[in-house]
Structure 1
Amino acid sequence: MEMIPSRSSSLTKFKSDKPKILFLGKPTHDGGEIQKNTDYFEIDILDAENRTEALAKIPHQLFTRGPYEGIVARTNVYPFDPFDEELFAPFMPRLKIVVTGQVGYNDFDVEWMTRQGVYFCNSKYATCEATAEMALFLIFAVLRNTSLGEQSLREGRWRGDLGLGRDPAGLTLGIIGMGKIGEKLAHKASTAFGMRVAYWNKSGRKVSTLQHWAHLTSEYYQCETLDELLGCSDVVSLHCPLTESTTKLMSDREFGKMKPGSFFINTSRGGLVDDSALIKALESGQICRAGLDVFGGEPDSICPYYRERADKVVVQPHMGGLTEASFRKASMECFANLRAFFETGRPLAPLNELPIGTESKALGFKKAPTTHEHRPSTSTPAPSSNLLVAANEPIPAK
């Protein structure tokens, strides 16, 4: 158990008045955001390495330091999932909000939280830039067959049986799920590398700033159907959440609709893809190569084919969002939602809407005093709404 002290000793007398927040797992690379927010929250850390240890420690944590109104889950890589009733029920009925530093939420039981009147917020912006860059890296890697080139050189064979690579300029990149990550990838791929971009949203949502190819060939084309996108794309990149309706979105039928010899990228969730169907498409040549940062059964039950076939698959161990800037942005976004909730009774960007009668009122959020006892420092956080905007902007390198 770890308690984060306030930045100002003069605030200790207000300690019991602050909302109590618990981090599940010791956060890393938060850029000092936790310390900056100790004037606003009483923050504890449950230092556990895995779900079993966390479940064992929670009762004692609640007895000695609880109750908690807010929980921050996974701003790191500790394997606490699933984030479900078993994990969160001990914190009820005082728990009002759960925030996470990740964008994916398939391992969170959002329906249960909604029934309990608990807001849930993922981090919609924090990892967008980094994940889009990982997708772009994988696109280049499959086009240039870099995994096989590296393997050949390490084995003492200069170039080996490597053929010519493909140039990205002029190829069509098909994006399945034109959300925040998809938009960033589209911008990078089109403006810097001359790729044409098509996209398809399951919801049918049109990105308002985009234009049809017929009007401006450097802009993006919205496909009416998934089949249309698959048929016109040289590279297909997945950027949608894993839900019941998107599980195995890419299977035999979908891979069969792609251009022969095209390329496939997945930086979203492994469960979106039918592994046997992808392997069949790779072996037949329907898909030339795949670039994968995510896998079904990760990390312990990844299909061996992906590890063994450097000639067919470029792999990364789910590193897309793991950058220093992303972790700091995730902390900023988590605290932005927490502060907004305790200021107004509603977070800035909740993923769920609560049933009538379960909404929380503002819980007496205590803002940092501005008396002579405590003068605001230059590191005092900006207003919550500004933090959410900042989380979507690049953070300069140190």
Structure 2
Amino acid sequence: MANQEKPRVAVLGKVHYLSDEYIESVKTELNLHFLESSNRQQLIEELPRVISQSGPFEGLICLSESHNFIPVDEELLSAMVPHCRVIASLWAGYNEFDVSWMTSQGIWFCNTVDAVAEATADMTIWFILSVVRNTSVAERHVRAGGWYGGSVSTRDPTGMTLGIVGMGSIGKYLAKKAKVFNMKTKYYNRKRLSKEVEEAYQVEYCSSLEELLSQADIVSIHCPLSEATRKLISHEQFKLMKDGAFLINTARGPIVDEEALIAALESGKVARAGLDVFSDEPNVREYFRTSDKVVLQPHMGGATEEALWRAERESFENVLRWRREGKPVSPVNEV
């Protein structure tokens, strides 16, 4: 940036993992203002008040508490226009952010690309082993005072075909880890990876989602949520899967049609499912909460201390790069 004055940047949420020393170093380049609001309505009222008192903000950093304010849209942030130039989110997913509106206002929007990717891949591996080995049912037997006795159906992941839908950072980490369990990995992506990358990760490309679904023993969802991917996996897609397939979703709940998933579980088309995300979070359907065929987690695939440290740092680094060079590290849009 040509202007050498420190830009004013609002911070939404608390810094939990970065050191005081790091934040102090950021303050040498950015004039940080930590907002006090804890919910959406409070922020709608706080932003214009603070801007009126102290001047406009050129940037906004959304940390882990930002889910209390969604959707992050024109109604929430109108007071920041026209001075705001960059918004950085701690999260990898960004369906809760109105990127189209931000683009129309000349605002860069950036997510974190790699911070939570490996942690989410780790959680996916845990889900795969949980559903294939049926560990949650076995655990309930033990907690109820029972024992194994051959009553719990389990499978071996060795030799299974893992089908990855969405081969970004998380998908790549997952493919690498799946090799340890001797799984064959195929993937479907809107853009095919280079031959060199495919060889490095030992993955095979499927030219259509339908091809992938028909060949995979385990289907794992890792694409972003958009209008194009909403209910990407529904009744017709479940029909294409192998009988007794397994489904894992650590991406976004609405990518999978939950009614269709329940029908597939009930019919046996899908043997078991591992779900970290749901269509109406934090509300989870009673079927998922009570069925022995479903393993659940409360959307915490990337929620490790190490991953959140990296995510917080990436968020600040995005704004610092914008301040130094005029463009953030990992922009989702172009302005």
**Is 2:332 aligned against 1:351?**
yes
In the alignment, which residue of structure 2 is the partner of 1:326? 307
* Structure 1: gaps spanning 5 or more residues: 1-15, 355-398
Task: Give secondary structure in 1 for the equivalent of 2:60.
Answer: strand
- 8 Å CA contact retained: 1:267, 1:294: yes
* Structure 2: gaps spanning 5 or more residues: none
- 8 Å CA contact retained: 1:70, 1:97: yes
- Give the deviation of 1:269 after TM superposition: 0.1
Q: Between Structure 1 and Structure 2, whose CA radius of gyration is higher? A: 1
- 8 Å CA contact retained: 1:26, 1:46: no
Change (3 A) 1:318 1:160: farther
**Is 2:63 aligned against 1:74?**
yes
CA RMSD of aligned residues (A): 1.8
C-alpha distance in 2 between matches for 1:75 and 1:163: 39
Task: Give secondary structure in 1 for the equivalent of 2:137.
Answer: helix
- 8 Å CA contact retained: 1:50, 1:79: yes
In the alignment, which residue of structure 2 is the partner of 1:336? 317
> What do residues 335-392 of structure 1 show as CA deviations (whole Å, max 9, x unaligned)?
22211211122222211111xxxxxxxxxxxxxxxxxxxxxxxxxxxxxxxxxxxxxx
- 8 Å CA contact retained: 1:230, 1:254: yes
Equivalences, count: 331
Which aligned pairs between 1:310-321 and structure 2 lie closer than 5 A? 311-321=292-302
In the alignment, which residue of structure 2 is the partner of 1:296? 279
Work out which of the residue numbers 201, 207, 229 in structure 2 matches 1:246.
229
C-alpha distance in 2 between matches for 1:241 and 1:78: 17
**Is 2:53 aligned against 1:64?**
yes
Answer 1 or 2: which has greater helix percent.
Answer: 2
Paired AA for residue 17 in structure 2: H
> What do residues 171-216 of structure 1 show as CA deviations (whole Å, max 9, x unaligned)?
11100001110000000111x21111000003345564213xxxx9
Using structure 1 for the length normalisation, give the TM-score: 0.79
Which aligned pairs between 1:167-246 and structure 2 lie closer than 5 A? 167-190=156-179, 192-206=180-194, 208-211=196-199, 219-246=202-229
In the alignment, which residue of structure 2 is the partner of 1:7? none
> What do residues 116-145 of structure 1 show as CA deviations (whole Å, max 9, x unaligned)?
000100111111011111111100110111
C-alpha distance in 2 between matches for 1:153 and 1:58: 53
- Give the deviation of 1:233 after TM superposition: 0.8
> What do residues 287-328 of structure 1 show as CA deviations (whole Å, max 9, x unaligned)?
0000000000000x321111111x100000000111111111
- 8 Å CA contact retained: 1:102, 1:123: yes
In the alignment, which residue of structure 1 is the partner of 2:250? 267
- 8 Å CA contact retained: 1:291, 1:313: yes
- 8 Å CA contact retained: 2:157, 2:182: yes
Using structure 2 for the length normalisation, give the TM-score: 0.94
Paired AA for residue 87 in structure 1: L
- Give the deviation of 1:64 after TM superposition: 3.0
- 8 Å CA contact retained: 2:44, 2:77: no
- Give the deviation of 1:156 after TM superposition: 1.8
Which aligned pairs between 1:17-28 and structure 2 lie closer than 5 A? 17-28=5-16
C-alpha distance in 2 between matches for 1:76 and 1:59: 20
Task: Give secondary structure in 2 for the equivalent of 1:209.
Answer: helix
C-alpha distance in 2 between matches for 1:98 and 1:283: 43
> What do residues 148-167 of structure 1 show as CA deviations (whole Å, max 9, x unaligned)?
11222222222377324211
